[in-house]
Amino acid sequence: MRENRETVMSIRNNLQEVLSTLPEGVRLVAVSKFHPVEALQEAYDAGQRIFGESKVQELSQKEAVMPKDVEWHFIGHLQTNKVKYIAPYVTLIHGVDSFRLLQEIDRQGKRVGRVIPCLLQMHIAQEDTKFGFAFDECREMLANCEWKELTHVALVGLMGMASNTDDEELVKTEFARLHQFFIEVKHDFFIEDEDFKELSMGMSDDYPLAVAEGSTLVRVGSRIFGIRNY
Ligand SMILES: *Cc1c(COP(=O)(O)O)cnc(C)c1O
């Protein structure tokens, strides 16, 4: 698969291949981190409009030169002191993993006159290296209603990363647990909020499993743009 993809396929073909497998209602975030703007432009010319980046500086540089109708999703770990740089244009922040970060996004949203859509990142993997709320921690934050006073952020769903493993059963279980948690949180806190509807899960190696478990946003990088040179 990998060889085939890298030798004969272009970004346009890769994109079409991924898109052809996504059911209606599942959107693709093309994760373009570490790839040059030429690669993003190729995807853009093929019709892709949602791009995911994980570094603030890199995102800012690309935003400045890419067409204005691109939707920029921030998918990495966001430091509070960098929110201000992306607040004017970011379309969705996937990785909100603390109330403090949410407060800062609210503050910056207010400053630039925007309501910034955010996903709460949940820790679902076995590894302890990945960021995110534990389920209980998230319930606790939502039960304490302080977040409702934040007028310049909109919580629109949840995000998670499964374990990096070949064990498909484990990955499936992790995605299923996140979906279950989404249903619980939707019911308990967002039942009347139509905007709370996104479940961001699935990357190059596991997005078909994520889609099967209810993902609405898949974040696919290397399968579209090739391997990254960090
Ligand atoms: C890099 C990254 C991806 C994309 O990873 P691929 O394996 O290249 O598809 C998705 N989500 C997050 C949070 C990432 O950091």
Atom of ligand 1 nearest to the CA of 29: 10
Distance 33 CA to ligand 1 centre (A): 9
Q: Using CA positions, which residue lies closest to atom 4 of ligand 1?
A: 221
pLDDT at 3: 44
HEC readout, the chain = CHHHHHHHCCHHHHHHHHHHHCCCCCEEEEECCCCCHHHHHHHHHCCCCEEEECCHHHHHHHHHHCCCCCEEEECCCCCHHHHHHHCCCCCEEEEECCHHHHHHHHHHHHHHCCCEEEEEEEECCCCCCCCCECHHHHHHHHHCHHHHHCCCEEEEEEEEECCCCCCHHHHHHHHHHHHHHHHHHHHHHCCCCCCCCEEECCCCCCHHHHHHCCCCEEEECHHHHCCCCC
Give the pLDDT confidence of 6-44 residue by residue, as tens digits.
433 699 999 999 999 999 999 999 999 999 999 999 999
Look at residue 145 and tell me if it is in a domain.
yes
Does the beta carbon of 164 sit less than 6 angstroms from any atom of ligand 1? no
pLDDT at 130: 65
Answer whether residue 212 shows pLDDT above 70: yes
Averaged over 181-189, what is the pLDDT? 98
Does the beta carbon of 220 sit less than 6 angstroms from any atom of ligand 1? yes
Does the beta carbon of 75 sit less than 6 angstroms from any atom of ligand 1? yes
pLDDT band, residue 128 (cuts 50/70/90): confident
Does the beta carbon of 116 sit less than 6 angstroms from any atom of ligand 1? no
Look at residue 230 and tell me if it is in a domain.
no
Distance 118 CA to ligand 1 centre (A): 18
Look at residue 202 and tell me if it is in a domain.
yes
Look at residue 15 and tell me if it is in a domain.
yes
Number of domains in the chain: 1
Query: Residue 48's domain spans which residues?
Result: 2-225
Averaged over 154-169, what is the pLDDT? 97
Give the pLDDT confidence of 42-77 residue by residue, as tens digits.
999 999 999 999 999 999 999 999 999 999 999 999
CA angle 189, 193, 194 (to 5 degrees): 135
Q: What is the dihedral of CA 126, 132, 137, 143, to 10 degrees?
A: -140
pLDDT at 127: 81
Answer whether residue 114 shows pLDDT above 90: yes
Give the CATH number of the domain where residue 63 resides. 3.20.20.10
